[in-house]
Amino acid sequence: MEFISNSLLNYCETFSEPESELLKELNRQTHLKVGQPRMLSGHLQGRFLSLLSKLIKPTNILEIGTYTGYSALCLAEGLSRYGKLITIDPNEETNLFAKSFIEHSAFKDKIELMTGDAKQIIPNLNQTWDLVFIDADKKNYAVYFDLVIDQTNPGGVIIADNVLWSGKVVDEKKDKDTLAIHEFNHKVSTDERLEPLLLPLRDGLMLLRKK
């Protein structure tokens, strides 16, 4: 399900900051060579992630779900001078692809790509976070949230992608993934530690600012 028409999306992209040549090429190569290219954040959401990161100026960013590295490169644009971004994904093939683009970027020394299951890796990261992007397997969104919330600094922001799940969250009968996302949305929006905003950008972005 597309939430806005292609012509409106093109209009929004035309009047937003353009993609860099590297991101444009990454987007193109992902569509040519990698399965499920719809997973890539894309121009408009990528510019949103970049702008938000620039406003926060994070020192430490955690991304769960790298895929081909598009969103990692966008989020890294806002890192503070000595900032670092850790991104985690178990898929060795897409990780190799992502690495080849990260290495050609201005952020090659700032992005660390870790191969593995985020559920196993995060508890061993001795780190606090200013910005977290959850964009992996939907059934574990609540698990990822529980793993990062205590390590998120006050004023820090957790973003979760695909929280409208192609609009299925409002269906009466929900499949497993839809139910997991719906329960995640309910859990975080009623958490007193957070200021939630569910933004209907692309497939839905949940923004959670920790008080």
Q: Which residues bind ligand SAM (CB under 6 A)?
A: 39-41, 64-67, 70-71, 88-91, 94, 117-119, 135-137
Positions of E strands within the chain? 60-64, 84-89, 111-115, 129-134, 152-161, 194-199, 205-210
Question: Least distance (Å) from ligand SAM to the CB of residue 155?
Answer: 23
Phi-psi region of 184 (alpha: psi -120 to 50; beta: other; left: phi over 0): alpha
Dist CA 128 CA 105 (whole Å): 25
Give the residue with the Cβ less far from ligand SAM, 96 or 155.
Answer: 96
Nearest Cα to 160, choosing from 144, 174, 176? Answer: 144
Question: Least distance (Å) from ligand SAM to the CB of residue 94?
Answer: 5
Measured over the CA atoms of residue 19, residue 110, residue 65 and residue 163, the dihedral's sign is: negative
Give the residue with the Cβ less far from ligand SAM, 66 or 152.
Answer: 66
Question: Least distance (Å) from ligand SAM to the CB of residue 39?
Answer: 4
Give the residue with the Cβ less far from ligand SAM, 112 or 195.
Answer: 112
Report yes or no: 159 and 129 within 8 Å, Cβ to Cβ.
no
Question: Least distance (Å) from ligand SAM to the CB of residue 154?
Answer: 25
- Amino acid 103 reads E
Dist CA 52 CA 77 (whole Å): 10
Dist CA 177 CA 196 (whole Å): 21
Give the residue with the Cβ less far from ligand SAM, 117 or 191.
Answer: 117
- Amino acid 64 reads I
Question: Least distance (Å) from ligand SAM to the CB of residue 102?
Answer: 12
Give the residue with the Cβ less far from ligand SAM, 155 or 201.
Answer: 201
